[in-house]
Amino acid sequence: MGVRLMVVDDHRLLAEALASALKLRGHRVLAAAAPTAGAAELVVSRAPEVCLMGTAAPAEPGAFDPIVRIRRDRPQVAVVVLGPVPSPRGIAAAFAAGACGYVRHDERIEGVERAIVKARAGDAAVAPGLLQGAFTELLNPVAQPDDEGQRLLRMLTPREIEVLVRVAEGEDTRLIAAGMGIAPSTARTHVQRVLMKLGVGSRLEAAALAARTGLLDRAAVSVLPGEPPDTAKGPDATYE
């Protein structure tokens, strides 16, 4: 006996193609809808047995909010998520929202159909391989990549951080000196130290590296606005 279902996906062509394939296999497809943002109201009004909900970004905040609404207003509707290979957190988020299944978006139509039938029967519809991969990652987490921006930022003194921000804003030596209340020779020394510590050969490279690693955003909030210029050491003093 076919399942009364709905197919929802942000990509209308994908939703319609999947709906057509399921119809050919004897299922009653009430609707193929897009985008998922407005799916909850449609599912609540049509009340299918199963909702197959596609998502391209299961890790995005709010990705499964429609499921929460569906399960609240139509708890009898079983929701199966169709998406990319998720992180363990992605699977957990889907089930926490109320989904009863998760199917990879590159699964064959037979696999999707099995998940739909299991979901209607009240069973969890998750491929064993997907669960195994999730548990493996949870038990043996991959080391997080080094935060290059934070590492580089720790190498710079507060004065050098301010210099970097000004360099990234396109200020030349004269403007840096005037803005910081120091001599041009001191400003030039700061710039050279920043370039040396960052391992780059030019101001342009320093600005590009700062932007690419997120260092620039962190550096900007590290600069203390209104800080009085350090003139006590003399006009040509350098600062650590």
Question: For residue 218, what pLDDT is reported?
Answer: 66
Is the pTM of the predicted complex or chain greater than 0.75?
Answer: no
Which of these ranges, 11-20, 85-94, 147-156, has the smallest mean pLDDT? 85-94
Which pLDDT tens digit goes with each residue over 200-237? 888 888 888 877 777 766 665 555 444 444 433 333 33
HEC string for the chain: CCCEEEEECCCHHHHHHHHHHHHHCCCEEEEEECCHHHHHHHHHHHCCCEEEEECCCCCCCCCCHHHHHHHHHCCCCEEEEEECCCCHHHHHHHHHHCCCEEEECCCCHHHHHHHHHHHHCCCCEECHHHHHHHHHHHHCCCCCCCCHHHHHHHHCCHHHHHHHHHHHCCCCHHHHHHHHCCCHHHHHHHHHHHHHHHCCCCHHHHHHHHHHHCHHHHHHHHCCCCCCCCCCCCCCCCCC
- Beta carbons within 10 angstroms of residue 74's beta carbon: 18
| Residue 154, helix vs strand vs coil | helix
Give yes or no for residue 85 having a pLDDT over 80.
no
What is the percent of the chain where pLDDT is above 70?
78
Q: How far apart are the first and last CA of the chain?
A: 77
Give yes or no for residue 199 having a pLDDT over 90.
no
Give yes or no for residue 145 having a pLDDT over 60.
no
Under DSSP, the state recorded for 38 is G
Question: For residue 79, what pLDDT is reported?
Answer: 95
Question: For residue 228, what pLDDT is reported?
Answer: 41
Which pLDDT tens digit goes with each residue over 89-115? 777 788 888 999 998 888 889 999 999
Question: For residue 237, what pLDDT is reported?
Answer: 38
Mean pLDDT for the chain?
Answer: 81
Helix 158-168 / helix 184-198 crossing angle, nearest 10 deg = 90
| Structural tokens at position 149 | 């921006």
Which pLDDT tens digit goes with each residue over 165-177? 898 888 999 999 9
Under DSSP, the state recorded for 34 is -
Closest CA to 79 of 139, 1, 7, 30: 7
Give the range with max mean pLDDT: 13-27, 36-50, 84-98: 13-27
Which of these ranges, 24-28, 93-97, 135-139, 181-185, has the smallest mean pLDDT? 135-139
Provide mean pLDDT across the span 62-73.
90
Provide mean pLDDT across the span 57-64.
78
Question: What DSSP element (H or E) covers 72?
Answer: helix 65-73
Q: Which residue has the tokens 């064993």?
A: 128
